[in-house]
Amino acid sequence: MFLLWLAILILFWVAFYLFTQGAITRHIGFLHFLLFFLAIYLASYQVYEESGCVNNRFLGSVMAYPVLAFLGMAFGRIMGPETAFAAREVACLRGDRNLVILIIGGFLLIYAIYLRSLGSDVPLFILLRGGEPLASRVARYLATKGYEGEGAGGLRLFYWLPRILIDYFASFAIVFAYYWFHRARYGHLKLVIAFAGLVFLALLGVEKLPAVKLGVVLVLCHWNFNHIKLRLRNVFSALLIAVVGIFFIGIIYSIATGGMEHRSDNPILNMLILGWRALIFRIMLGQLQPLYVMFEIIPDHLDFFGGLTLTNPRGILPYDAVTLPYIIYDFYFKQDPGVQGSDPTAFFGEIYANWGLWISFLSMFLFGWLLQIINHVLISRIDDRGTAFDMAFFYMVSIYLADFAISFSTPYFDERIYFFVFLFFYYKHLKRRSIQGLKTTPPSEPVPKNT
């Protein structure tokens, strides 16, 4: 079994490399599969073995996903053949800049009202005042989860609109800023300031993952600007980026948890230790354990839900939605006072919890197919016009799809999807004006043709 598990790990990335002709980082599924293998796959066999090698549904599903998803992507090439965006000039249009500034301004206005409604209970400020980490966790729950009458002024708008800003649109903004500031005077300094500001907004609610996402998407954008294909000679650069990434994760987790245990007198080593521990215990095991529990308790302790865990928008469907991540958390964790824990996991785990193994397998294939279709649509847009807006939208959707590797109920349908659809079709409506601007606005510095 271990040899099969290892073979799938290796063969998937070889097949993905061939599928994208070496440009794996330029496919919209790259971050999704990177997160899946990091957060779910790598530790799955160890968890399976340490638990007595009895949960075969769990390990079988984890091993089946990359195989079936890849087959879905291969099938999707019939309708969407594009696999990676081309190396070409990326234009920065004034109209796009004005639109992005307008959206950012609207977000920041709502966010300011949101923070004002929290008063002195902004989670990060509680930590900075020397408060207990538990107090900041309760404040975070009230600010970001308990919005129905008790948090964020009791207004749902104050919950989901700031979440769009810190979870997804911030990634859009930092990529757009990357291209816009590339040729500007003091462009690197402006980019650093913009990045630090967005990270700070994420950390106000002690939201660690959105801050990490910002760093990941900025590094990926920079990598793709300078590299077309992943080659052996780039391995050292990739390893260096990984080490810097662990250090960055350490900083984020140190701020968001109110400090850390000092293991040495070297602050850099401290950050690396905390980053590594966060990578292992929070990222690599945080979403894997609930997936294991899900396959363990269903259907042995709980019946299949038959779709009841899926979102019921505005209550239009004849059922009350069941919050599955709450049930999983309550099954094996003791809650902190005043906090309802939530343990989301890979999307196919929730499909299994509703309809069983075979429907879960079908969803794996269909998700791979959907990834390829979305990839084709967005890459065709990039190759057709090549604007910074199109590039930023590509990375934002890439981050959104990556989240399906570790959750499902939250991202697949809520107010965030409305915003994405609006942004896509509104910009499409402006296509004629964008193309006209492209003829009169000097493009940014072209992406290097050779690496």
> Mean of the pLDDT values across residues 47-60?
90
Name residue 273's amino acid: I
The predicted structure's pLDDT at residue 154: 47
Q: Are residues 39 and 149 in the same domain?
A: no
- Percent of the chain surpassing pLDDT 70: 73
The predicted structure's pLDDT at residue 60: 94
Q: Which of 381, 39, 401, 22 is nearest to 224 (CA)?
A: 22
Q: Are residues 252 and 144 in the same domain?
A: yes
Q: Is 304 domain-assigned? A: yes
Which of 258, 285, 312 represents a domain boundary (last residue)? Answer: 285
> Mean of the pLDDT values across residues 361-385?
92
Q: Are residues 150 and 279 in the same domain?
A: yes
Number of domains in the chain: 2
Q: Are residues 299 and 249 in the same domain?
A: no
| pLDDT range class, residue 113, cuts 50, 70, 90 | confident
Which of 243, 259, 285 represents a domain boundary (last residue)? Answer: 285
Q: Is the pLDDT of residue 232 over 80?
A: no
The predicted structure's pLDDT at residue 443: 47
Q: Is 260 domain-assigned? A: yes
> Mean of the pLDDT values across residues 49-68?
93
Which residue has tokens 């087959």?
Answer: 71
Residues making up the chain, counted from first to last: 451
Name residue 82's amino acid: E
Determine how many CB atoms are found less than 10 A away from the CB of residue 306.
12
User: Out of 57-66, 114-123, 300-309, which region has the weakest mean confidence (pLDDT)?
Assistant: 114-123
Q: Is 51 domain-assigned? A: yes
- Percent of the chain surpassing pLDDT 90: 27
Q: Are residues 13 and 48 in the same domain?
A: yes
Q: Are residues 320 and 414 in the same domain?
A: yes
> Mean of the pLDDT values across residues 214-225?
89
The predicted structure's pLDDT at residue 257: 64
The predicted structure's pLDDT at residue 242: 77
Higher pLDDT, 48 or 231: 48
Higher pLDDT, 131 or 407: 407
Helices (H) and strands (E) in the chain, counts: 21, 0
Q: Is the pLDDT of residue 245 over 70?
A: yes
Q: Is the pLDDT of residue 228 over 90?
A: no
At residue 387, what are phi and psi to the nearest 5 degrees?
Answer: -100, 160
Q: Are residues 141 and 44 in the same domain?
A: no
Q: Is 36 domain-assigned? A: yes
User: Out of 220-234, 296-310, 400-414, 429-443, which region has the weakest mean confidence (pLDDT)?
Assistant: 429-443
Structural domain range at position 263: 94-285
> Mean of the pLDDT values across residues 250-275?
65
Q: Is the pLDDT of residue 24 over 80?
A: yes
Buried b (16+ CB within 10 A) or exposed e, 432-448: eebeebeeebebbeebe
Higher pLDDT, 307 or 119: 307
> Mean of the pLDDT values across residues 11-38?
94
Q: Which of 289, 324, 369, 340 is nearest to 58 (CA)?
A: 289
The predicted structure's pLDDT at residue 439: 47
Dihedral sign, Cα of residue 385, residue 391, residue 392, residue 395: positive
The predicted structure's pLDDT at residue 53: 86
How many angstroms separate the Cα of 155 from the Cα of each of 114, 145, 299, 327, 412? 9, 12, 37, 26, 22
| pLDDT range class, residue 423, cuts 50, 70, 90 | confident
User: Out of 85-94, 127-136, 289-298, 335-344, which region has the weakest mean confidence (pLDDT)?
Assistant: 127-136
Higher pLDDT, 80 or 362: 362
| pLDDT range class, residue 41, cuts 50, 70, 90 | very high
The rounded distance, in Å, linking the Cα atoms of 181 and 173 is 12
Max avg pLDDT among 92-106, 107-121, 227-241: 92-106
Q: Are residues 150 and 273 in the same domain?
A: yes
| pLDDT range class, residue 19, cuts 50, 70, 90 | very high
The predicted structure's pLDDT at residue 70: 97
The predicted structure's pLDDT at residue 448: 44
Q: Are residues 39 and 107 in the same domain?
A: no
Higher pLDDT, 212 or 374: 374
pLDDT tens profile 148-169: 444 444 455 556 666 677 778 8
Q: Is the pLDDT of residue 334 over 80?
A: no
Q: Is 189 domain-assigned? A: yes
User: Out of 9-18, 124-133, 432-441, which region has the weakest mean confidence (pLDDT)?
Assistant: 432-441
Q: Is 64 domain-assigned? A: yes
DSSP SS3 for 91: strand
> Mean of the pLDDT values across residues 243-256?
73
Q: What residues pair up with 91 in beta bridges, in sequence order?
A: 387
Q: What residues pair up with 387 in beta bridges, in sequence order?
A: 91
Angle at the Cα of 252 (from 220 to 125), degrees rounded to 5?
135
Predicted TM-score (pTM) above 0.75 = yes
The answer to whether 22 and 229 are in contact (CB under 8 A) is yes
The predicted structure's pLDDT at residue 339: 60
Q: Are residues 318 and 404 in the same domain?
A: yes
Determine how many CB atoms are found less than 10 A away from the CB of residue 372.
28
pLDDT tens profile 177-213: 999 888 777 788 888 888 888 887 777 766 777 888 8
Q: Is 450 domain-assigned? A: no
Average pLDDT of every residue of the chain: 79
Q: Are residues 69 and 131 in the same domain?
A: no
> Mean of the pLDDT values across residues 81-105?
84
Higher pLDDT, 410 or 346: 346
Which of 246, 270, 285 represents a domain boundary (last residue)? Answer: 285
The rounded distance, in Å, linking the Cα atoms of 392 and 86 is 15
Q: Is 445 domain-assigned? A: no
Q: Are residues 276 and 315 in the same domain?
A: no
